[in-house]
Structure 1
Amino acid sequence: MKKQILIIGAGFGGVWSALSAARLLDKHNRHDVDITVLAPQAELRIRPRFYEANVHTMTAPLNDLFDAVGVKFVRGSANVIDEKNQQVSYSNTLGQKGQLSYDRLVLAAGSHVTRPAAEGMTKHVFDVDQIEEATRLEDHINSLKDLPASVARNTVVVAGGGLTGIETATEMPARLRAALGNDTDIRVIVVDRSPKIAAAMGKELSPFIAEASEHLGIEWVLNATVASVDANGVTLANGQRIESNTVIWTVGLRASHLTEHVDGTRDHQGRLHVDQHLKVRSQTAVYAAGDVAYASTDAVGNFAVMSCQHAIALGRYAGNNAAADLLGVEPIPYSQPKYVTCVDLGAWGAVFTEGWDRQVKLIKHEAKEFKTQINTVWIYPPAADRASALAAADPLIPVA
Structure 2
Amino acid sequence: MENQKSTKPRVVVIGGGFGGIRAALALSKYGVKITLIDRYNYHLFQPLLYQVATAGLSVDDIAYPIRAIVKEKKNIDFRLAKVTGVDFENKTVLMDTGTVNYDYLVIAAGGMTNYFGMKSVEENSFGMKTLDESVIIRNHILSMFELAAHEKDADKRRAFLTFVIVGGGPTGVESAGALSELVYHVLTKEYHHINFKEARIVLVEASDKLLAAMPESLREATVETLISKRVEVRMCVQVTDYDGQRLTLKGGEVIPTNTVVWGAGVRAIDLMDNLGVEQGSMRRVVVNEYLQIPNHPEAFVIGDAAHFMQDERPLPMIAPVAMQQADVAAKNIDNLLKNKELKKFAYRDVGSMATIGRNAAVVQMGNFKTHGFFAWAIWCFVHVLRLINFRNRAVVFSKWVWDYLVYERVVRIITRK
TM over 0.5: yes
1:6, distance to aligned residue in structure 2 (A): 0.3
SS state at 1:147 partner = helix
Alpha-carbon distance in structure 2 between the residues aligned to 1:258 and 1:370: 36
Partner of 1:157: 164
Q: Does 1:60 align with 2:64?
A: yes
- Cα deviation for residue 350 of structure 1 reads 0.5
Specify whether residues 105 and 376 from structure 1 end up closer, same or farther in structure 2 by C-alpha distance, changes over 3 A only: same
User: 2 CA distance for matches of 1:273 and 1:116?
Assistant: 20
Higher mean alpha-carbon deviation, 68-77 vs 212-221, is at: 212-221
Give structure 1 regions of 4+ aligned residues with deviation exceeding 4 angstroms. Answer: 196-202, 300-303
Question: Which string of whole-angstrom CA distances, capped at 9 and with x for unpartnered residues, describes residues 343-383 of structure 1?
Answer: 1111351011024xxx5522111111111122222252699
Q: Which deviates further from its counterpart, 75-84 or 273-282?
A: 273-282
More off after superposition, 102-111 vs 137-146: 137-146
DSSP 3-state at the match of 1:212: helix
Higher alpha-carbon deviation: 187-196 or 373-382: 373-382
> 2:165·2:260 contact (CA, 8 Å) conserved in 1?
yes
- Residue 130 of structure 1: aligned partner: 130
Conservation of the 8 A alpha-carbon contact between 1:120 and 1:229? yes
- 1:217-257 CA-partner distances (Å, limit 9, x unpaired): 11122322122223333121211121222111112211122
Provide the identity percentage.
Answer: 24
SS at match of 2:300: strand
* Most deviating of 210-219 and 273-282: 273-282
C-alpha distance in structure 1 between counterparts of 2:365 and 2:329, whole Å: 25
Q: Could you say what secondary structure the match of 1:345 adopts?
A: strand
Secondary structure of the residue aligned to 1:84 is: coil
1:12 corresponds to which of 8, 18, 42: 18
Structure 1, unaligned stretches of length 5 or more?
92-96, 384-400
TM-score norm. by structure 2 comes to 0.81
Matches within 5 A, 1:201-220: 201-220=214-233
Shift of 1:190: 1.2
Q: Distance in 1 between matches of 2:347 and 2:387?
A: 17
Question: For each residue in 1:66-125, what CA deviation from the matched residue of structure 2 results, as whole angstroms up to 9, or x when unmatched?
Answer: 12122110110101100010001101xxxxx30000000000000001224446424421
Do the aligned partners of residues 330 and 258 (structure 1) sit closer, same or farther apart at CA in structure 2, a change above 3 Å counting?
same
Q: 1:132 Cα shift?
A: 1.1
Counterpart of 2:346 (choices 324, 335, 357) is 335
Other-structure match for 2:105: 105
Give secondary structure in 1 for the equivalent of 2:330: helix
1:344 and 2:349 are equivalent in the alignment = no
2:167 touches 2:265 (CA, 8 Å); kept in 1?
no
Distance 1:322 1:256, change over 3 A: farther
Equivalent position to 1:252, from 257, 265, 290:
265
Residues matched between the structures, number: 366
Within-5 A mapping of 1:275-314: 275-296=288-309, 300-301=311-312, 303-314=314-325
Structure 2: distance between partners of 1:265 and 1:382: 41
Q: Flag the 1:90–1:196 CA change in 2: closer, same or farther, 3 A.
A: closer
Are residues 1:188 and 2:201 paired? yes
1:144–1:200: structure 2 CA closer, same or farther, 3 Å change rule?
same
Distance 1:382 1:17, change over 3 A: farther
Aligned to 1:76: 81
Q: How far did residue 158 of structure 1 move?
A: 0.8
Q: Deviations over 1:302-335 (max 9, x none)?
A: 6431111211111122122223323434443323
Judged with a 3 Å threshold, the aligned counterparts in structure 2 of structure 1 residues 114 and 303 are, in CA distance, closer, same or farther, namely closer
Root-mean-square deviation over aligned CA pairs: 2.3
Aligned to 1:89: 94
Q: What corresponds to 2:173 in structure 1?
A: 166
CA distance in 2, matches of 1:55, 1:165: 20
Which deviates more, 199-208 or 124-133? 199-208
| Range with greater deviation from structure 2 (128-137 or 118-127) | 118-127
CA distance, structure 2, for counterparts of residue 122 and residue 270 of structure 1: 17
CA contact (8 A) 1:19 1:319 kept: no
Match of 1:140 in 2: 140
Hey, what does 1:37 align to over in structure 2?
A: 36
Deviation at 1:293, TM superposition (A): 1.4
Q: Could you list the per-position Cα deviations for residues 13-62 of structure 1 after superposition, in whole angstroms to 9, with x for gaps in the alignment? A: 10001011112x1xxxx3xx211101112311111111113251310222
Say if 1:264 and 1:283, in contact at 8 Å, map to a contact too.
no
Q: Which amino acid aligns with 1:317?
A: V
Partners of 1:136 and 1:340 lie apart in 2 by 31
CA drift at 1:197: 4.9
3-state SS of paired residue (2:292): coil
2:327 is the alignment partner of 1:323 = no
Offset from partner CA, 1:259-318 (integer Å, 9 cap, x none): 234454321212222223211223221001111112345xx4464311112111111221
Deviates more, 1:318-327 or 1:75-84: 318-327
C-alpha deviations, 1:195-234, integer Å up to 9, x for none? 3555564524311111111211111223221222233331
